[in-house]
Amino acid sequence: MAQLSSDCFAHGGALMTVDEAIAAIRERVTPVADPETVAPRHALGRMLLRDVVAGHDVPPHANSAVDGFAVHFDDLKAEGETRLPVTARVTAGHPLDRPARRGEAIRIFTGSRMPDGPDTVYMQEDTRAEGDEVVLMPGIARGANVRGRGEDIRTGDTVLAAGRRLRPQDLGQAAAVGCTGLTVARPLRAALFSTGDELREPGQPLDAGCIHDSNRYTLHGLLQAAGCTVTDLGILPDHHDAVHDALAGAAADHDVILTSGGVSVGEEDHVKQAVEAQGSIHTWKLAIKPGRPIALGQLGRTPFVGMPGNPVAVMVTFITVVQPMLEQMLGGTADRPRGYRLPAAFDHRKKPARREWLRARLVPGADGTPAVEKVERQGSGVLSAVVESDGLVELAEDTTHVEAGSVVDFLPYSEVAG
């Protein structure tokens, strides 16, 4: 297992913009995941580390795009109908065992290999059968309804480039060029825990002043969607030795460690102290809302990420910083998820100099096209607002107001992790 260079998260500045944070990740974070080769059917969602190059043309031979009749174009009359004898039948996987002769029509079906000689296929709807002959209507173009050899892919083409997360269609593309093994990144091993004497597991009774731990479950899902295998260390007590020992054990056999809460300067926040005792930790104060502070450090050379405690801030900082970092560690590029430009169905004002994310849902616009509507409750502790929304509206640092009808950047949750 490769590891990150020592102290790669050091930052001496004040507030960082999102773009500065992404630039720092691209510059300082290196791939750490080991490569492995898996069959295409087991590669869904994995990060491709080696280009897939076509070893043959696709299709490997000219074939018919329709059910019909293969003919020589030069046998067709320029005007009026053409009558030809039907002398053979070709189906998919059973090509004609001889070259086709001039003056004959070959019955052919979709996907079947074109016989040597004919260059045009009539759709059966444009023909009329009369006994052992077929009557062909005028007006067809040379080469009609024929898929040429290599029309989709040529030998030597790079059909899948390294650095992409593999989708279902990518697996089909790999199979189409005969690929039996894809070189992908081994999933990152992520350790995850929460700290806080006030936290309880779902199903446990809530004592006075206690709440159920939700952030750990959100992060578990986000990490899985990002291609990680997750070790859930549960809820750790607010005790230095317990946190210290858990961090030491996780750093020994994990690629990244995440936690929520416990990284401020309070005397009961033991995570920060335990990380500093074994490595280094730096607070990136991001110019974003919600989720300004995020702690980044290393135990040895295993990266540590301390997330904010508010549920919505956890989502936003994961999307903004953690997901790009994981993509880079896997051998991809530290790009944030793709958003879309859509009209706003709301008014909003914000302060300048920070990037803001609003929880929003998709709604029909005035002309029936999609628009985005801000959900009513926008507090960083209101997890139900995330559940009720379809994604996040991203407002740039220099934006101070949004008016209904203006175009905004919308990031659907479906784009998160790939």
Give residue 265's pLDDT. Answer: 46
List of E strands, 261-333: 279-286, 288-289, 293-299, 302-307
Checking if the pLDDT of 56 tops 90, the result is: yes
Residues 43 and 181 occupy one common structural domain: yes
pLDDT, average across residues 159-167:
96
Residues 238 and 312 occupy one common structural domain: yes
Assess if residue 352 is contained within a domain.
yes
Q: Please tell me the distance from the alpha carbon of residue 36 to that of residue 44, in angstroms, as a whole number.
A: 14
pLDDT, average across residues 315-326:
92
Single residue among 280, 309, 330 that ends a domain in this structure: 330
Residues 71 and 205 occupy one common structural domain: no
The structure's pTM equals 0.85
Domain containing 124 equals 63-147
Task: Please choose, from the candidates 76, 97, 79, the residue with its C-alpha nearest in 3D space to the C-alpha of residue 87.
Answer: 97
Residue 51 has which token pair? 């280009």
Residues 217 and 286 occupy one common structural domain: yes
Residues 95 and 113 occupy one common structural domain: yes
Strand partners, 188: 228
Average pLDDT, the chain: 91
Give residue 111's pLDDT. Answer: 96
Q: What percent of the chain has pLDDT over 90?
A: 72
Assess if residue 6 is contained within a domain.
no
> Which distant-in-sequence residues (6+ apart) come within 8 Å of 245 by Cβ?
none
Instruction: Convert the pLDDT of each residue in 392-404 to its tens digit.
Output: 999 999 999 999 9
Assess if residue 13 is contained within a domain.
no
Single residue among 330, 350, 378 that ends a domain in this structure: 330
Residue 60 has which token pair? 């490997």
Instruction: Convert the pLDDT of each residue in 71-122 to its tens digit.
Output: 999 999 989 999 999 999 999 999 999 999 999 999 999 999 999 999 999 9
Q: Please tell me the distance from the alpha carbon of residue 244 to that of residue 271, in angstroms, as a whole number.
A: 8
Assess if residue 162 is contained within a domain.
yes
Assess if residue 245 is contained within a domain.
yes
Give residue 305's pLDDT. Answer: 94
Residues 273 and 369 occupy one common structural domain: no
Query: Exposed, middle or buried: residue 34 (CB in 10 Å: 0-12, 13-18, 19+)?
Result: exposed
Residues 126 and 215 occupy one common structural domain: no
Read off the CATH number of the domain in which 143 is found: 2.170.190.11
Residues 169 and 219 occupy one common structural domain: no
Residues 287 and 215 occupy one common structural domain: yes
Instruction: Convert the pLDDT of each residue in 112-143 to its tens digit.
Output: 999 999 999 999 999 999 999 999 999 999 99
Q: Please tell me the distance from the alpha carbon of residue 362 to that of residue 393, in angstroms, as a whole number.
A: 11
Task: Please choose, from the candidates 153, 150, 170, the residue with its C-alpha nearest in 3D space to the C-alpha of residue 161.
Answer: 170
Residues 50 and 162 occupy one common structural domain: yes
Report which residue type is found at 126: D
